[in-house]
Each structure stands twice: as structure tokens, then as C-alpha cells.
Amino acid sequence: MSLDGNVFIERFETYCPQWLAEAGDPVGLHIGTLNKKLNRVLVTLDVRPEVVAEAIEKHVDLIIAKHPPIFRPVKRLDTDDLQTKMYADLLKHDIAVFAAHTNMDIIDNGLNDWFCELLGIQDTTYLTKTHTIAYKKLAVFVPVEDAVNMRKVLGQAGAGQQGDYTNTSYSLIGTGRFTPKTGANPTLGTVDKEETVQEAKIEVIFPETIETKVIQAMLEAHPYEEPAYDVYQIENMTKEFGLGRVGHLEKAVSLNDFVSTIKETFDLEGLRIVAEDESKLIQRVAICGGSGEKFFRDAIKKQADVYITGDVYYHTGHDMLTEGLPVIDPGHYIEQLCKPKLVELFNQWKKDYNWTIEFIESEVNTNPFKFR
């Protein structure tokens, strides 16, 4: 009644790869090991001492966190300090911590898309481009009886993802011929005798960033001593990724009404607004979860009527006023939306792959701010 830690993270990385994170962002495994069985996984926005205590109490094996717990180098492990003592507690109770930060903001069907879904922001594109990824195609020849397993292995390695579809491939049946030479150890056939076999040619595409992973998975699963395969550069296919989203509401509303919608949607006691005229009608909306103030001019370039982001700095607020862009700052903590959405996603994987594991949301409120 458990799941291998590496199997789970391999699936997670297919959805939310580390290479999508901004340069210098410390995503991935922070504490502990994945070389173990998982029975219970806790999803949290922040890893705080209270969250660690919750994980210990609930017998959690792995924490998936949006914010990396070790964002800056730790200078000393003084266990009299609560923040650093939690690292020791995690190790003592064999609780691993894995972080997905800006890669969670950038991915399709990630945090910024979830915000848009909640707020009714439609026909979205990214706010600011971060990556342009080229694609390649793998063509591999396998015995017909091994084709189903090969397609499965390639899909698990991340190949065959196109838009909203996974495990896409093309297969063609043909005849393979070969003659094993002296010293060969053929899976089929005998030395110095020509052999023919019904083979499937399987073609899959993949982003070039995972080429090594895909080829390695193919070679490990292939029954032949010397697999036949080709890798092609696809000249007419690239994919762009970016932070934030820009889209439009179904109909224009006043800034004041939209502020009320945001407060209600995220159950906020209050928020900050940078605007000269709160009665202004808005329809084109830009949003970037977390601290996205540095992208406000990208919102202007994308002709947004309003920009939603957190942690706006005082003097940047003046710049926003000068530029004439209304900004709504609902705070950083609206990113807690990652908890229910990730648990929902993980439970879908649990159903798809027949996993026996429990995924739970942290019940700890890690918002450091209160309103009076």
C-alpha cells in the first residue's frame, strides 16, 4: 500500500519540469531522499515549523511545497532557532521536501492558469516570455509484441505530449531484417543466419530538454542488443513558455466591482489598490501570482486594463500610477490555491495509475499578515 518516491516525482516532473524554473530558482528536492516508499504526501504553500509539526503528526513521507524552504544558503544549523530546527525535525522523521516554485507559475495548467480559471479570464497568453523550446522526434523499431510497452515507457519519460494530449504516437508495421555476427547475443535469431521479424516503427515527439531522459528510457526498455532508432530535429515546431497570464473578461466591469470579485474569490479581509479612478471599466486583465511587480510594464505592453500581482513595493506603486496602470495587490498568500489544485491533480493520477497513496492539503495558514 505505497508508491515509490522516484516514480511519483518522475510523473510530477513530466507535468512540472525543473528546467522551466527561472535561472537560480532552487527547485527540486531540498531535504531527505526519494529512494523510499510513499504512503502519504502533504501539499503546502510554505514549509514552516507549524507545517513540519503537522507533517510529523500526520505521518507524512513527502512534502510538496510551492515555496522552496531553503531559498538562500543556510549559514548554520542551530537547532535553537525554530526555522533551522525544522530541518533537523524533517530529517529525524524521514520526511522529504520537494519544491516547485517558478516552474509551477510557468507551466500550462499551473498556478497562473488556475487564477484565470477562478476569475473568468479567458483566451490567455503569457505575460512575459521565459523559454522557447525546440522539439525533436524519435523513431524506434521494436518487435510488434513489445510496441505497447515501448509506447508506455516513452510516455512515462515525457514524450508524446502535445497540447492537451498525452501519450500521442504514430505506429507503422513493417518487416525488419538482420544477420547476427559471431560474438552477438541476439534476442531473436541465430548467428550467421538472416532473420526477419514483424516490427513496429513508433514515432513520438518530445521537447529537446528531455532528450537524454527519453533515449535512456527507450534503450532500457528495448529488447534488442543493438536497437535501431533515429532522432530528428523538428524544424516547424517550437513552444513558448512564460510567467503570468493576460486575457479578457467576458464583459467589461468597473475596477471597483472587479476588486470585490477578487476579495470574494480568495476570501480576503483586504487588499491594496493602485489606481486613480476605481470606477474605470476594465476587461483585459493581466495576472502574475507571487511577487510580479517587475512585470507591470509587460502588462502595459500587452494592453492590460488592470494588473493583479502581489508584494508591490511603495515606489513601484508610484511608477504604476505614473504609467496609468491600475494594479490590484491581493497579497502573496492567494498562491495557497496550489494546495487544493495539486491534490486534485494528484488524485487524478492516483486513479489513472492505480496508485495506493494518500494526498492531503496542509491545514496550516502560513500567511504572516493580518488586517485590522
The annotated binding site for a divalent metal cation is made up of 67, 105, 332, 335
d(CA 301, CA 127): 9
**Burial call 343-362: b when 16+ CB within 10 Å, e when fewer:** bebbeebbeeeebebbbbbb
d(CA 291, CA 271): 14
Residue that has been written with the C-alpha cell 500521442 in this structure? 168
From the list 288, 329, 334, the residue with the least C-alpha distance to 312 is 329
State residue 272 phi and psi, 5-degree precision. -110, 145
d(CA 3, CA 194): 44
CA distances from 174 to 24, 121, 152, 201, 356 (A): 48, 49, 20, 7, 40
Cell of 261: 470579485
**Burial call 35-73: b when 16+ CB within 10 Å, e when fewer:** eeebebbbbbbbbbebbbebbeeeebbbbbbbbbbeeee
d(CA 139, CA 135): 14
Q: What is the C-alpha R_g of the chain?
A: 25
**How deeply is 277 buried, as exposed, middle or buried, from its count of CB atoms within 10 A (0-12, 13-18, 19+)?**
exposed
In terms of residues, how long is the chain?
A: 372
**Ordered alpha helix ranges (H), 136-190:** 147-156
d(CA 267, CA 318): 27
CA distances from 52 to 55, 100, 188, 228, 364 (A): 5, 18, 54, 49, 10
Type of residue numbered 89: D
